[in-house]
């Protein structure tokens, strides 16, 4: 069933567990993610990155189809715009049928970030749409530009931002990075940042860059107050590995058959992260 992101995260916040937000980019990735959630009887959030829709499948093409998949699901499904960096695009997404939007105006000066975010919050709430924003900066494993101490969220600034904008959900930077972690590398999490923001605001909080962070880090972050865990790279990596294996075995194999072989490995990764997050059997449907 298609629901607001807020309804999923409010319950996770009350009961102190994490919900997976999987980066999807087409019908196949959306389908496998929902099937994984159904098998685990878990609520799920589908994250659609603004950049992907601008360069690959446009919003007006991919969103209606994914909405239909969500509406037919036997668990709660929210559809969230990820890293909405363009004000007009975010507003369009709200009106188009997303049930959550992440407003990312971090490239603007702080006061301007607050003004734009507050304006979007007002519009989104008129449509019953949940608003997420991020305070702090996230690094990336590509080029070894990992998140460092200078990029961590300042808890006091996050608290001020939440209070001034009225956002429903806040993403924090406290040790994770976007991308696939190098083999054997486990980032160091600073969960005291999460604890301070949670204690002062009480709202659902978000971990971006969940791929490869390790079971202990993710579960410690949930205990500290994280309720939404973004995972993309590990799921896509599972699909890419499956493709490579199939091409290596038989380069002449039918493309449709090859694509079908990528769904099960990716679905198993999603199911494993659902277990780690604590949302298995949390669907109320």
Range 24-55 burial, b when 16+ CB lie within 10 A, else e: bbeeebbbbbbbbbbebbbbbbbbbbbebbee
245 is in an annotated binding site: no
Of the candidates 196, 82, 208, 189, the one whose C-alpha atom is nearest the C-alpha of residue 138 is 208
Pairing mode, if any, of strands 77-84 and 169-172?
A: unpaired
Is 192 in the active site? no
Q: Which of 47, 56, 82, 254 is the catalytic position?
A: 82
User: 47, 78 in Cβ contact below 8 A?
Assistant: no
104 is in an annotated binding site: yes
Give the 3-state secondary structure of residue 3.
coil
134 is in an annotated binding site: yes
What's the CA gap between 194 and 13, in Å, rounded?
Answer: 13
- The tokens for 215 are 């079971």
Range 255-271 burial, b when 16+ CB lie within 10 A, else e: eeebeeebbebbbebbb
Pairing mode, if any, of strands 177-178 and 169-172?
A: unpaired
User: How is residue 105 annotated by DSSP?
Assistant: -
What's the CA gap between 239 and 128, in Å, rounded?
Answer: 34
In sign, the C-alpha dihedral spanning 131, 152, 273, 236 is positive
Report CA 230 to chain centroid distance, whole Å: 3
47 is in an annotated binding site: no
87 is in an annotated binding site: no
Known catalytic residues are 82
As annotated, the binding site for Zn(2+) includes: 83, 104, 134, 178, 208
């Amino acid at each position: 069933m298609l629901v607001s992101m807020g309804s999923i995260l409010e319950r996770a916040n009350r009961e102190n567990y994490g919900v997976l937000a999987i980066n999807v980019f087409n019908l196949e990735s959306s389908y496998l993610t929902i099937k994984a959630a159904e098998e685990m009887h878990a609520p799920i959030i589908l994250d659609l990155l603004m950049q992907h829709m601008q360069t690959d499948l446009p919003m007006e093409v991919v969103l209606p189809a994914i909405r239909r998949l969500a509406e037919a699901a036997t668990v709660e499904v929210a559809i969230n715009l990820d890293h909405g960096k363009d004000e007009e695009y975010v507003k369009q997404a709200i009106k188009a049928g997303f049930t959550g939007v992440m407003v990312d105006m971090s490239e603007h000066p702080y006061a301007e970030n607050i003004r734009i975010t507050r304006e979007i919050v007002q519009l989104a709430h008129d449509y019953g749409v949940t608003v997420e924003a991020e305070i702090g900066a996230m690094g990336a494993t590509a080029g070894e530009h990992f998140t460092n101490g200078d990029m961590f969220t300042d808890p006091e600034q996050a608290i001020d931002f939440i209070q001034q904008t009225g956002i429903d959900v806040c993403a924090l930077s406290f040790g994770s990075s976007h991308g696939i972690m190098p083999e054997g590398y486990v980032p160091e999490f600073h969960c005291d940042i999460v604890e301070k923001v949670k204690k002062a605001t009480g709202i659902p909080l978000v971990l971006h860059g969940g791929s490869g962070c390790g079971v202990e880090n993710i579960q410690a972050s949930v205990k500290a107050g994280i309720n939404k865990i973004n995972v993309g790279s590990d799921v896509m990596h599972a699909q890419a590995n499956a493709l490579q294996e199939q091409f290596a075995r038989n380069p002449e194999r039918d493309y449709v058959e090859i694509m079908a072989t990528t769904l099960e490995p990716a679905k198993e990764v999603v199911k494993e992260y659902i277990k780690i997050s604590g949302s298995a059997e949390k669907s109320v449907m």
